[in-house]
Structure 1
Amino acid sequence: MTAYDVGVLILRLVLGLTMAAHGYNKFFGPGGLKGTAGWFDSMGMKPGSFHARVAATTEMAAGLGLAVGLLTPIPAAGFVALMLVAAWTVHKPNGFFIVKEGWEYNLVLAGSAVGIATLGAGKISLDHLLFANTGLDDYLHGWWGLLIAAVVGLAGGIGQLAIFYRPPAKTAG
Protein backbone atom coordinates (compact mmCIF):
# COMPACT_ATOMS: atom_id res chain seq x y z
CA MET A 1 0.00 0.00 0.00
CA THR A 2 1.27 3.43 -0.95
CA ALA A 3 0.31 7.05 -0.31
CA TYR A 4 -1.22 6.94 -3.81
CA ASP A 5 -3.58 4.14 -2.76
CA VAL A 6 -4.58 6.01 0.39
CA GLY A 7 -5.10 9.23 -1.58
CA VAL A 8 -7.37 7.51 -4.12
CA LEU A 9 -9.24 5.83 -1.25
CA ILE A 10 -9.87 9.21 0.38
CA LEU A 11 -11.18 10.64 -2.89
CA ARG A 12 -13.39 7.59 -3.52
CA LEU A 13 -14.85 7.70 -0.01
CA VAL A 14 -15.56 11.43 -0.02
CA LEU A 15 -17.09 11.48 -3.51
CA GLY A 16 -18.89 8.18 -3.19
CA LEU A 17 -20.42 8.73 0.23
CA THR A 18 -21.42 12.27 -0.73
CA MET A 19 -23.30 10.95 -3.77
CA ALA A 20 -24.85 8.10 -1.79
CA ALA A 21 -26.06 10.63 0.80
CA HIS A 22 -27.84 12.56 -1.96
CA GLY A 23 -29.61 9.38 -3.04
CA TYR A 24 -30.52 8.52 0.54
CA ASN A 25 -31.96 12.01 0.97
CA LYS A 26 -34.12 11.57 -2.12
CA PHE A 27 -35.52 8.34 -0.66
CA PHE A 28 -35.82 9.28 3.01
CA GLY A 29 -35.26 13.03 3.42
CA PRO A 30 -37.98 15.62 3.94
CA GLY A 31 -40.73 14.88 1.45
CA GLY A 32 -39.21 11.50 0.55
CA LEU A 33 -39.70 10.08 -2.90
CA LYS A 34 -43.08 11.76 -3.25
CA GLY A 35 -41.54 15.20 -2.74
CA THR A 36 -38.62 14.35 -5.02
CA ALA A 37 -41.08 13.16 -7.68
CA GLY A 38 -42.95 16.46 -7.52
CA TRP A 39 -39.69 18.34 -7.88
CA PHE A 40 -38.73 16.26 -10.95
CA ASP A 41 -42.17 16.87 -12.49
CA SER A 42 -41.83 20.62 -11.88
CA MET A 43 -38.50 20.80 -13.72
CA GLY A 44 -39.73 18.84 -16.72
CA MET A 45 -38.38 15.35 -15.98
CA LYS A 46 -41.58 13.36 -16.44
CA PRO A 47 -42.82 11.12 -15.08
CA GLY A 48 -41.40 12.50 -11.85
CA SER A 49 -42.00 9.34 -9.82
CA PHE A 50 -39.92 7.30 -12.28
CA HIS A 51 -37.06 9.82 -12.30
CA ALA A 52 -37.10 10.18 -8.52
CA ARG A 53 -36.56 6.44 -8.17
CA VAL A 54 -33.96 6.27 -10.95
CA ALA A 55 -31.99 9.25 -9.58
CA ALA A 56 -32.11 8.09 -5.96
CA THR A 57 -31.13 4.52 -6.85
CA THR A 58 -28.37 5.60 -9.22
CA GLU A 59 -26.96 8.07 -6.70
CA MET A 60 -26.83 5.41 -4.02
CA ALA A 61 -25.46 2.66 -6.29
CA ALA A 62 -22.89 4.87 -8.03
CA GLY A 63 -21.87 6.45 -4.74
CA LEU A 64 -21.40 3.18 -2.88
CA GLY A 65 -19.79 1.54 -5.92
CA LEU A 66 -17.23 4.31 -6.18
CA ALA A 67 -16.64 4.35 -2.42
CA VAL A 68 -15.75 0.64 -2.32
CA GLY A 69 -14.01 0.73 -5.71
CA LEU A 70 -16.15 -1.90 -7.45
CA LEU A 71 -15.99 -1.83 -11.26
CA THR A 72 -14.93 1.78 -10.81
CA PRO A 73 -15.55 3.13 -14.33
CA ILE A 74 -19.22 2.06 -14.14
CA PRO A 75 -20.13 4.07 -11.02
CA ALA A 76 -18.03 6.92 -12.41
CA ALA A 77 -20.23 6.82 -15.53
CA GLY A 78 -23.22 7.06 -13.20
CA PHE A 79 -21.73 10.23 -11.72
CA VAL A 80 -21.31 11.72 -15.19
CA ALA A 81 -24.88 10.92 -16.24
CA LEU A 82 -26.37 12.17 -12.97
CA MET A 83 -24.38 15.38 -12.94
CA LEU A 84 -25.04 16.13 -16.61
CA VAL A 85 -28.80 15.82 -16.08
CA ALA A 86 -28.65 17.89 -12.87
CA ALA A 87 -26.51 20.58 -14.49
CA TRP A 88 -28.78 20.81 -17.53
CA THR A 89 -32.18 20.69 -15.80
CA VAL A 90 -31.51 22.59 -12.59
CA HIS A 91 -28.28 24.59 -12.64
CA LYS A 92 -27.65 25.70 -16.25
CA PRO A 93 -29.71 28.93 -16.10
CA ASN A 94 -27.76 30.05 -13.03
CA GLY A 95 -24.33 30.12 -14.66
CA PHE A 96 -21.16 28.42 -13.51
CA PHE A 97 -20.61 29.37 -9.87
CA ILE A 98 -22.17 27.35 -7.07
CA VAL A 99 -22.76 30.48 -4.96
CA LYS A 100 -25.48 31.34 -7.48
CA GLU A 101 -26.75 27.72 -7.71
CA GLY A 102 -24.68 27.16 -10.86
CA TRP A 103 -23.27 23.94 -12.29
CA GLU A 104 -19.76 24.19 -10.80
CA TYR A 105 -20.40 21.45 -8.19
CA ASN A 106 -21.81 19.11 -10.85
CA LEU A 107 -18.66 19.52 -12.93
CA VAL A 108 -16.38 18.88 -9.95
CA LEU A 109 -18.20 15.66 -8.99
CA ALA A 110 -18.35 14.31 -12.55
CA GLY A 111 -14.78 15.29 -13.39
CA SER A 112 -13.42 13.85 -10.15
CA ALA A 113 -15.21 10.55 -10.75
CA VAL A 114 -13.79 10.33 -14.29
CA GLY A 115 -10.35 11.14 -12.89
CA ILE A 116 -10.64 8.28 -10.39
CA ALA A 117 -11.79 5.92 -13.17
CA THR A 118 -8.72 6.95 -15.16
CA LEU A 119 -6.30 6.52 -12.26
CA GLY A 120 -7.93 3.33 -11.01
CA ALA A 121 -9.39 2.53 -7.61
CA GLY A 122 -6.03 1.68 -6.04
CA LYS A 123 -5.01 -1.33 -3.97
CA ILE A 124 -7.52 -0.59 -1.20
CA SER A 125 -10.53 -1.46 -3.35
CA LEU A 126 -12.74 -4.32 -4.41
CA ASP A 127 -11.40 -3.89 -7.94
CA HIS A 128 -7.93 -4.81 -6.71
CA LEU A 129 -9.18 -7.57 -4.42
CA LEU A 130 -11.37 -9.23 -7.03
CA PHE A 131 -9.73 -8.47 -10.36
CA ALA A 132 -5.97 -7.90 -9.90
CA ASN A 133 -4.03 -9.85 -12.51
CA THR A 134 -7.18 -11.30 -14.11
CA GLY A 135 -7.08 -9.36 -17.35
CA LEU A 136 -10.30 -7.54 -16.46
CA ASP A 137 -8.29 -5.15 -14.32
CA ASP A 138 -6.85 -3.65 -17.54
CA TYR A 139 -10.34 -2.26 -18.30
CA LEU A 140 -10.84 -0.73 -14.83
CA HIS A 141 -8.35 2.14 -15.16
CA GLY A 142 -6.24 4.04 -17.65
CA TRP A 143 -7.60 4.90 -21.07
CA TRP A 144 -10.31 2.24 -20.78
CA GLY A 145 -11.44 3.60 -17.43
CA LEU A 146 -11.57 7.12 -18.87
CA LEU A 147 -13.41 6.00 -22.00
CA ILE A 148 -15.99 3.89 -20.13
CA ALA A 149 -16.70 6.56 -17.52
CA ALA A 150 -16.92 9.47 -19.96
CA VAL A 151 -18.64 7.86 -22.95
CA VAL A 152 -21.12 5.69 -21.06
CA GLY A 153 -21.86 8.54 -18.66
CA LEU A 154 -22.39 11.12 -21.40
CA ALA A 155 -24.51 8.70 -23.43
CA GLY A 156 -26.67 7.93 -20.40
CA GLY A 157 -27.17 11.57 -19.46
CA ILE A 158 -27.79 12.78 -23.01
CA GLY A 159 -30.13 9.85 -23.65
CA GLN A 160 -32.15 10.56 -20.54
CA LEU A 161 -32.46 14.23 -21.41
CA ALA A 162 -33.40 13.51 -25.04
CA ILE A 163 -36.06 10.96 -24.12
CA PHE A 164 -37.59 12.46 -20.99
CA TYR A 165 -36.75 16.13 -20.50
CA ARG A 166 -39.52 18.53 -21.42
CA PRO A 167 -38.78 21.97 -19.95
CA PRO A 168 -41.77 23.63 -18.36
CA ALA A 169 -43.36 26.35 -20.45
CA LYS A 170 -42.40 29.84 -19.38
CA THR A 171 -45.31 32.00 -18.33
CA ALA A 172 -45.66 35.50 -19.69
CA GLY A 173 -45.12 38.01 -16.96
Structure 2
Amino acid sequence: MDAIDIGLAMIRIAVGLTFAAHGFNKFFGGGRIPGTGRWFDSIGMRPGRMQALLAASTEVVAGLLLAAGLLTSFAAAGVVAVMLVAACTVHRDGGFFVNGNGWEYNMILAAMAVGVAITGPGGLSVDHLLGSAPLFDSWWGLVIGLGGGLLAGIGLLLAFYRPTTPALA
Protein backbone atom coordinates (compact mmCIF):
# COMPACT_ATOMS: atom_id res chain seq x y z
CA MET A 1 0.00 0.00 0.00
CA ASP A 2 1.29 3.45 -0.90
CA ALA A 3 0.11 7.06 -1.15
CA ILE A 4 -1.54 6.42 -4.53
CA ASP A 5 -3.63 3.59 -3.07
CA ILE A 6 -4.76 5.85 -0.23
CA GLY A 7 -5.50 8.74 -2.61
CA LEU A 8 -7.51 6.53 -4.95
CA ALA A 9 -9.46 5.09 -2.02
CA MET A 10 -10.29 8.60 -0.80
CA ILE A 11 -11.51 9.66 -4.24
CA ARG A 12 -13.51 6.44 -4.75
CA ILE A 13 -15.13 6.64 -1.34
CA ALA A 14 -15.98 10.36 -1.57
CA VAL A 15 -17.46 10.17 -5.07
CA GLY A 16 -19.11 6.79 -4.53
CA LEU A 17 -20.78 7.63 -1.23
CA THR A 18 -21.89 11.05 -2.52
CA PHE A 19 -23.42 9.37 -5.56
CA ALA A 20 -25.08 6.67 -3.44
CA ALA A 21 -26.47 9.32 -1.07
CA HIS A 22 -28.27 10.96 -3.98
CA GLY A 23 -29.86 7.61 -4.81
CA PHE A 24 -30.88 6.93 -1.23
CA ASN A 25 -32.42 10.41 -1.11
CA LYS A 26 -34.54 9.58 -4.15
CA PHE A 27 -35.74 6.41 -2.39
CA PHE A 28 -36.23 7.75 1.14
CA GLY A 29 -36.08 11.56 1.17
CA GLY A 30 -38.79 14.16 0.62
CA GLY A 31 -41.13 12.92 -2.08
CA ARG A 32 -39.52 9.49 -2.33
CA ILE A 33 -39.95 7.64 -5.61
CA PRO A 34 -43.47 9.00 -6.35
CA GLY A 35 -42.32 12.61 -5.89
CA THR A 36 -39.07 12.01 -7.73
CA GLY A 37 -41.06 10.37 -10.52
CA ARG A 38 -43.27 13.47 -10.83
CA TRP A 39 -40.13 15.60 -10.98
CA PHE A 40 -38.66 13.37 -13.71
CA ASP A 41 -41.90 13.76 -15.67
CA SER A 42 -41.64 17.55 -15.24
CA ILE A 43 -38.14 17.65 -16.76
CA GLY A 44 -39.16 15.45 -19.68
CA MET A 45 -37.77 12.06 -18.62
CA ARG A 46 -40.75 9.78 -19.17
CA PRO A 47 -42.17 7.67 -17.70
CA GLY A 48 -41.12 9.52 -14.58
CA ARG A 49 -41.62 6.77 -12.02
CA MET A 50 -39.54 4.30 -14.02
CA GLN A 51 -36.82 6.94 -14.52
CA ALA A 52 -36.83 7.68 -10.78
CA LEU A 53 -36.38 4.00 -9.95
CA LEU A 54 -33.68 3.58 -12.59
CA ALA A 55 -31.75 6.69 -11.51
CA ALA A 56 -32.03 5.95 -7.78
CA SER A 57 -31.00 2.31 -8.25
CA THR A 58 -28.07 3.22 -10.49
CA GLU A 59 -26.90 5.88 -8.05
CA VAL A 60 -27.03 3.53 -5.07
CA VAL A 61 -25.49 0.50 -6.78
CA ALA A 62 -22.84 2.33 -8.84
CA GLY A 63 -21.99 4.56 -5.88
CA LEU A 64 -21.49 1.67 -3.47
CA LEU A 65 -19.53 -0.34 -6.05
CA LEU A 66 -17.27 2.63 -6.76
CA ALA A 67 -16.71 3.29 -3.05
CA ALA A 68 -15.78 -0.36 -2.51
CA GLY A 69 -13.66 -0.53 -5.65
CA LEU A 70 -15.68 -3.44 -6.99
CA LEU A 71 -16.39 -3.66 -10.72
CA THR A 72 -14.91 -0.19 -10.76
CA SER A 73 -15.06 0.50 -14.50
CA PHE A 74 -18.70 -0.57 -14.65
CA ALA A 75 -19.50 1.60 -11.62
CA ALA A 76 -17.84 4.52 -13.40
CA ALA A 77 -20.06 3.87 -16.43
CA GLY A 78 -23.11 4.18 -14.18
CA VAL A 79 -21.86 7.49 -12.81
CA VAL A 80 -21.15 8.83 -16.31
CA ALA A 81 -24.57 7.77 -17.63
CA VAL A 82 -26.54 9.38 -14.78
CA MET A 83 -24.42 12.54 -14.81
CA LEU A 84 -24.78 12.91 -18.59
CA VAL A 85 -28.56 12.67 -18.33
CA ALA A 86 -28.60 15.14 -15.43
CA ALA A 87 -26.34 17.58 -17.28
CA CYS A 88 -28.46 17.44 -20.44
CA THR A 89 -31.88 17.59 -18.82
CA VAL A 90 -31.55 19.67 -15.65
CA HIS A 91 -28.30 21.63 -15.81
CA ARG A 92 -27.73 22.36 -19.51
CA ASP A 93 -29.35 25.80 -19.49
CA GLY A 94 -27.58 26.83 -16.27
CA GLY A 95 -24.17 27.20 -17.91
CA PHE A 96 -21.03 25.77 -16.40
CA PHE A 97 -21.00 26.89 -12.78
CA VAL A 98 -22.93 24.92 -10.17
CA ASN A 99 -23.97 28.11 -8.37
CA GLY A 100 -26.06 28.94 -11.45
CA ASN A 101 -27.46 25.37 -11.57
CA GLY A 102 -24.89 24.51 -14.24
CA TRP A 103 -23.30 21.21 -15.16
CA GLU A 104 -19.97 21.66 -13.35
CA TYR A 105 -20.82 19.17 -10.56
CA ASN A 106 -22.00 16.55 -13.06
CA MET A 107 -18.79 16.82 -15.04
CA ILE A 108 -16.57 16.62 -11.93
CA LEU A 109 -18.24 13.44 -10.60
CA ALA A 110 -18.12 11.78 -14.03
CA ALA A 111 -14.49 12.79 -14.64
CA MET A 112 -13.37 11.53 -11.23
CA ALA A 113 -15.14 8.20 -11.75
CA VAL A 114 -13.57 7.76 -15.19
CA GLY A 115 -10.17 8.77 -13.84
CA VAL A 116 -10.40 6.02 -11.24
CA ALA A 117 -11.56 3.55 -13.92
CA ILE A 118 -8.49 4.40 -16.03
CA THR A 119 -5.94 4.22 -13.22
CA GLY A 120 -7.63 1.30 -11.51
CA PRO A 121 -9.18 1.34 -8.04
CA GLY A 122 -5.89 0.97 -6.16
CA GLY A 123 -4.64 -1.52 -3.61
CA LEU A 124 -7.34 -0.70 -1.05
CA SER A 125 -10.19 -2.09 -3.16
CA VAL A 126 -12.21 -5.24 -3.56
CA ASP A 127 -11.13 -5.47 -7.21
CA HIS A 128 -7.51 -5.58 -6.01
CA LEU A 129 -8.29 -8.25 -3.40
CA LEU A 130 -10.01 -10.37 -6.07
CA GLY A 131 -7.17 -9.85 -8.53
CA SER A 132 -9.56 -8.34 -11.07
CA ALA A 133 -8.26 -4.75 -11.02
CA PRO A 134 -5.75 -5.20 -13.89
CA LEU A 135 -8.47 -6.67 -16.12
CA PHE A 136 -10.41 -3.41 -16.40
CA ASP A 137 -8.03 -0.49 -15.83
CA SER A 138 -6.06 1.51 -18.37
CA TRP A 139 -7.67 1.48 -21.84
CA TRP A 140 -10.40 -0.93 -20.78
CA GLY A 141 -11.27 1.40 -17.92
CA LEU A 142 -11.60 4.25 -20.41
CA VAL A 143 -13.68 2.21 -22.86
CA ILE A 144 -15.98 0.72 -20.21
CA GLY A 145 -16.21 3.73 -17.89
CA LEU A 146 -16.43 6.57 -20.37
CA GLY A 147 -17.60 4.78 -23.50
CA GLY A 148 -20.16 2.59 -21.76
CA GLY A 149 -21.44 5.50 -19.70
CA LEU A 150 -21.81 7.76 -22.73
CA LEU A 151 -23.61 5.04 -24.69
CA ALA A 152 -26.00 4.34 -21.81
CA GLY A 153 -26.67 8.03 -21.14
CA ILE A 154 -27.23 8.88 -24.79
CA GLY A 155 -29.44 5.80 -25.16
CA LEU A 156 -31.56 6.90 -22.19
CA LEU A 157 -31.91 10.40 -23.58
CA LEU A 158 -32.88 9.16 -27.03
CA ALA A 159 -35.36 6.64 -25.69
CA PHE A 160 -36.98 8.56 -22.84
CA TYR A 161 -36.32 12.32 -23.00
CA ARG A 162 -39.52 13.97 -24.14
CA PRO A 163 -39.55 17.57 -22.89
CA THR A 164 -42.74 19.52 -23.22
CA THR A 165 -42.60 22.25 -25.78
CA PRO A 166 -44.52 25.49 -25.39
CA ALA A 167 -47.57 25.78 -27.60
CA LEU A 168 -47.03 27.85 -30.71
CA ALA A 169 -49.16 30.97 -30.84
TM-score, normalized by the shorter chain, greater than 0.5: yes
The 3 A distance-change label for structure 1 pair 147 and 11 is same
Name the counterpart of 1:114: 114
C-alpha deviation, 1:140, in angstroms: 1.9
Name the counterpart of 2:91: 91
- CA contact under 8 A between 1:36 and 1:48: conserved in structure 2? yes
Name the counterpart of 2:45: 45
C-alpha deviation, 1:145, in angstroms: 0.7
Q: How many pairs are equivalent? A: 169
C-alpha deviation, 1:84, in angstroms: 0.2
Name the counterpart of 1:164: 160
| Structure 2: tracts of 5 or more residues without a match | none
Q: Write out the 4+ residue segments of structure 1 that deviate beyond 3 Å after TM superposition.
A: none
Name the counterpart of 1:65: 65
CA-based RMSD: 1.2
Name the counterpart of 2:125: 125
Name the counterpart of 1:141: 137
- CA contact under 8 A between 1:27 and 1:33: conserved in structure 2? yes
SS of structure 1 residue aligned to 2:96: coil
| Structure 1: tracts of 5 or more residues without a match | none
Matched, 1:34 2:30: no
C-alpha distance in structure 1 between counterparts of 2:168 and 2:108, whole Å: 35
CA deviations 1:111-141 (Å, max 9, x no partner) are: 11000000100111000111x2xxx543321
CA deviations 1:125-172 (Å, max 9, x no partner) are: 000111x2xxx5433211111111011000000000000001111357
C-alpha distance in structure 1 between counterparts of 2:158 and 2:101, whole Å: 23
C-alpha distance in structure 1 between counterparts of 2:80 and 2:62, whole Å: 10
**Residue among 148, 154, 164 paired with 1:152:** 148
Matched, 1:77 2:73: no
SS of structure 1 residue aligned to 2:86: helix
Q: TM-score, normalised by structure 1?
A: 0.95
Alignment identity in percent?
54
C-alpha distance in structure 2 between counterparts of 1:87 and 1:144, whole Å: 25
SS of structure 2 residue aligned to 1:167: coil
Name the counterpart of 2:104: 104
C-alpha deviation, 1:2, in angstroms: 0.4
CA deviations 1:68-116 (Å, max 9, x no partner) are: 0001000000010000000000000111111100000000000110000
C-alpha distance in structure 2 between counterparts of 1:53 and 1:98, whole Å: 25
Name the counterpart of 1:25: 25
Letter in structure 2 aligned against 1:125: S
